[in-house]
Structure 1
Amino acid sequence: MEELAERYSDSLRIKIDSRKEEMLTDDNSHYLVYRVLGIATEEGRLIDEYQNTGRFLYKYVGSFLEEAASLCLKFKNVEGGKILVENNQGQRPKTFEIDFLDGNNAIEIKWRDATTDGDHITKEHTRVKAIQSHGHIPIRVMFYYPQRTQAIRIQETLKTIYTGVKGEYYGGEEAWEYIKNYSGYDLKEILTKIANKRTPEDGSK
């Protein structure tokens, strides 16, 4: 797990450094409008920098947690893994991806789902029905709840959808406990130890 974390960390750092280098030659004429709204040039530069690097961070966090959780599940069942199933409930998309299929358990792994788009509910409902129709049990494992009220409501609706088809939904602490109980590996404890080695929790150097 430490090797996995190191690989993702190195790759993320390369992406961030590369983007910062690119930004040195960006057209910053839009800072005029920032200043009109009371954002000084240096503050605007920092906002742009964090916004750009933040996109990489969120992407890598999601990919890392999915792979880390899948690794725990893989130790339980080396035959399990990622597969595609046909969408027999609609035209788009043609297939749905299952992050980890273990027997009939179709486990979807999310680090966080902050969407506030109502269409997301329709798509997820279609996805769950399609997975169920293939004889699998849809299971959603999401490690962190979103912060915004509308996004939280959507997650509550998704939980109802999963339970409505005899599936399972685990969010927040329940997600960590699910991985621990299912695989025998305490992923949260493992990641906490790695995090404490790499950077103190209080953010000090």
Structure 2
Amino acid sequence: MNHIIYSAIKELADGYACDLKHQVDIRIEEMKEDDTSHYLLYRVLGVTNEEGNLIDLYQNKGRFLYKYAGAFLEEAAVICIKHKYPDSGKVKIPNTLGSKPKTFEIDCLVENVAHEIKWRDATTDGDHITKEHTRVKVIKAKGYTPVRVMFYYPQRTQARRIQETLETLYNGIGGQYYYGDSAWQYIKDYTGIDLLEILEKIAASRE
């Protein structure tokens, strides 16, 4: 295991964990002042006040957790790529096929390989496909190879169908699409760093 990269990702994880706890603690305090009159509807539907409070609490915690988990993993993957390819990084390119958005951001450009890195993508929004279609075509027209790396595949049928469409889009335009095990393997093969092993070691250290 690369100890320099392990230390960098562990430090990143510690920072995210600290920020997450801070944000959750603030929200818990704020919730103590919340109006709970809607618990009436919970009780009508057979959910007690105590259960309703826990549901609201974990719904709030969950929103923070998903945000921080995603941002952390995406940043950790970029650390691995930048270690192997120091000149790589984020790049914005103009949208040459439309007016919205004005630019598209490439998460990590390595020479002519344009990486989009996602921890997961559970969207069911049809507009998402249109935007991604435009994004990939703009990247390809720029002379770059679009590569999508998504570590966790969505569970719901509609979200999975959208990902299948995106995979077809990437492959059809000469790009590459990796998800699940193949995404972890791609980072390992591309950078020589086993990101999954590093994360498992950090997780074990928390127990």
TM-score calculated relative to the size of structure 2? 0.95
Of residues 167, 172, 192 in structure 1, which corresponds to 2:175?
167
**Structure 2 residue aligned with 1:45:** 53
Q: Read off the aligned partner of 2:93 and give its amino acid letter.
A: V
Instruction: Give unpaired runs (5+ residues) of structure 2.
Output: 1-8
Q: Does 1:71 align with 2:79?
A: yes
Q: Which moved more, 1:182-191 or 1:112-121?
A: 112-121
Three-state SS of the structure 1 residue aligned to 2:155 is coil
Q: Does 1:186 align with 2:168?
A: no
Q: How much has 1:116 moved relative to structure 2? A: 1.0
Three-state SS of the structure 1 residue aligned to 2:74 is helix
Which aligned pairs between 1:23-38 and structure 2 lie closer than 5 A?
23-38=31-46
**Structure 2 residue aligned with 1:9:** 17
Three-state SS of the structure 1 residue aligned to 2:146 is strand
Which aligned pairs between 1:1-205 and structure 2 lie closer than 5 A?
1-199=9-207
Q: How much has 1:120 moved relative to structure 2? A: 1.0
Q: How much has 1:181 moved relative to structure 2? A: 0.2
For 1:162 and 1:89, locate their aligned partners in 2 and report how far apart those are by CA, in whole Å.
17
Q: Which moved more, 1:170-179 or 1:116-125?
A: 116-125
Cα deviation digits, residues 133-163 of structure 1 (max 9, x gap): 1111110000000000111111010000001
Cα deviation digits, residues 109-131 of structure 1 (max 9, x gap): 00000011111111110110111
TM-score calculated relative to the size of structure 1? 0.96
Q: How much has 1:65 moved relative to structure 2? A: 0.5
For 1:27 and 1:159, locate their aligned partners in 2 and report how far apart those are by CA, in whole Å.
45
Q: How much has 1:82 moved relative to structure 2? A: 0.7
Q: Read off the aligned partner of 2:59 and give its amino acid letter.
A: Q
Three-state SS of the structure 1 residue aligned to 2:22 is helix
Q: How much has 1:86 moved relative to structure 2? A: 0.6
Q: Read off the aligned partner of 1:89 and give its amino acid letter.
A: L
**Structure 2 residue aligned with 1:202:** none
Cα deviation digits, residues 55-100 of structure 1 (max 9, x gap): 1100001110111000000011111001111111111111111100
Q: Read off the aligned partner of 2:83 and give its amino acid letter.
A: F
Aligned Cα root-mean-square deviation (Å): 0.6
